[in-house]
Amino acid sequence: MPPTPLVKFDLKAQKYVAAFQPPWNDVRTMSPALVGDTLYMTDMFGGALMRFDLKTERWLDRYRLPDYGQTWKYTTACAVFGPYVVCNLSTFQGVKNANGTYGFDGQRHHFVNKILIFDTRSANAGIVPVPTLSSEGYATIAYLRTLQGKLYGTCVDSKLLPDGKPEEKGAAFLVEFA
């Protein structure tokens, strides 16, 4: 499968003016996040974060992310917070992890409750769980957004049912990252 390019669109001229093909095979670019003059994009099913220099219009490198394929297989929304690129991780979309399950811990409904934090200064990445409002709930994250120098995550904390699965609904809350 050919890689997904980064396409440049001129709003004034109302036309596409350039397409930049990643130098890696089978890349699916998604969720751009801008740090300085560098665009960071996830390879949504490839377990990597790629860098593109906007000044030179060149792809720079591709970083492998921790635990890809073992517990997660899909990156979703990304946002920038200072020198950090923060992304949602997931095991859903019909792509099983190394355990043959969709959930981070082998439970199918535990599919989007981890956050990846990538430090652009060191290229180190860590994975943290989505915080829960109570020790009895199960929290998931949907969106990440930067507003006026702060990073927020939209989350849902669902009550666990007697069978161990969360309710289809739950209390919504925002997380402010500090």
Write down the domain spans for the chain: 6-10+17-130
Find, among 108, 176, 95, 172, the residue nearest to 139 by Cα.
Answer: 172
Q: What is the mean pLDDT of residues 95-112?
A: 69
At 170 the pLDDT is 81
Assigned fold of 6-10+17-130 = Thrombin, subunit H (2.40.10)
Supply the mean pLDDT for the chain.
85
Q: Using a cut of 0.75, tell me whether the model's pTM lies above it.
A: yes
**What is the Cα–Cα distance from 100 to 169, expressed in whole angstroms?**
26
Confidence tier at 106 by pLDDT (50, 70, 90):
low
Share of the chain above pLDDT 70, in %: 89
pLDDT top residue among 47 and 55: 55
Buried b / exposed e over 60-96, threshold 16 CB at 10 Å, is eebbebebbeebbbbbbbbbbbeebbbbbbbbbeeee
**What is the Cα–Cα distance from 25 to 141, expressed in whole angstroms?**
30
Q: Does pLDDT of 93 surpass 80?
A: no
